[in-house]
Amino acid sequence: MIRFFLPLIIFVSGCLGPVKELYPEDIEQRPVPVYVVSHGWHVGIAIEQEYIKHLLPEHPEMPEARILKFGWGDNRYYTDSEAGFGLMMRAALLPTRSVIHVVGMDIPIENYFGASSIVRVQVTEEGAEQLGKFIADRFRPDRDGNVQLASEGLYGNSKFFKANGLYFVPKTSNTWTARALRRTGFPITPFYAVTSGNVIQQARKGGELIR
């Protein structure tokens, strides 16, 4: 029994600490701000576009702004601002197609999302590069390799795009965001990040709550 659980224990424990070559202890070596944004059930991640623009796929509807926020979720529940209990249960219980929500903003993120909990963490430029690659790889291209628009976004300057990966509990927007942040080397454990509260709690251990 111990031999069975040992790989899992090692995996979970290994994710708890920082990836030292990406996330040095000295904050002065981590000049790039990354934001973890909670909207209640759902958590997304944001970064200034200049650090990842060269990695993002091109599309005429891709939002242009100083800061871009990304979220991942079920293609029907997430895109419907009036989705009810039925769509929520469908998203939770059945493996479904997914989308990426891209929101562009030119004002401070804490002003744009005035009712949300926001944690700022500092990462290296290389960590930001790895985050950008993670996000870019999640857009689902068509047969010709082009990004596919799914629908209008939830805000003024936002769009939904078709994404890779199936959505189902416990593979949710929260674990997706934790995995994205982990790519920067930040000490977060996606295995535990099932709820938005847990993502924010883990982010606060190495970051700053700004709202």
Closest CA to 32 of 120, 102, 155: 120
What is the Cα–Cα distance from 152 to 61, expressed in whole angstroms?
Answer: 9
Q: How many CB atoms lie within 10 A of CB 102?
A: 24
DSSP for 149-195 reads EEEE-SSTTEEEEEEEEEEBTTB-HHHHHHHHHHTTT-S--GGGTTS
- Which stretches within 44-124 are classed as H helix? 85-93, 109-112
Determine the residue type at 144: D
Per-residue pLDDT tens digits for 165-190: 988 777 899 999 999 999 999 999 99
Q: Which amino acid is at 41?
A: W
- Residue 20: in which H helix or E strand, if any? none
pLDDT tier for residue 155 given thresholds of 50, 70 and 90: very high
Kindly state the DSSP code that residue 91 receives in the 8-state scheme: H
Among 34-43, 78-87, 143-152, 187-196, the range scoring the smallest mean pLDDT is: 78-87
Mean pLDDT of 185-197: 93
Which residues sit opposite 71 in a β-bridge? 101
Query: pLDDT > 70: what percent of the chain?
Result: 84
* pTM of the predicted protein model: 0.88
Residue with tokens 């994404």: 163
- Work out the burial of residue 92: count CB atoms within 10 Å of its CB; fewer than 13 is exposed, 13-18 middle, 19 or more buried: middle
Residue 98 or 6, more confident = 98
pLDDT of residue 171: 86
Structure confidence at residue 169 (pLDDT): 78
Would you place residue 192 in the very low, low, confident or very high pLDDT band (cuts 50, 70, 90)?
confident
Q: Judging by beta carbons within 10 Å of its beta carbon (0-12, 13-18, 19+), is residue 98 exposed, middle or buried?
A: buried
Please compute, for residue 28, the number of CA atoms within 13 A of its CA located in the half-sphere on the CB side: 0
To the nearest 10 degrees (0 to 180), the angle between helices 196-206 and 173-182 is 20
Predicted pLDDT at 2: 39
> For position 151, what pLDDT does the model report?
95
Instruction: Map tokens 């997430």 to a residue.
Output: 78
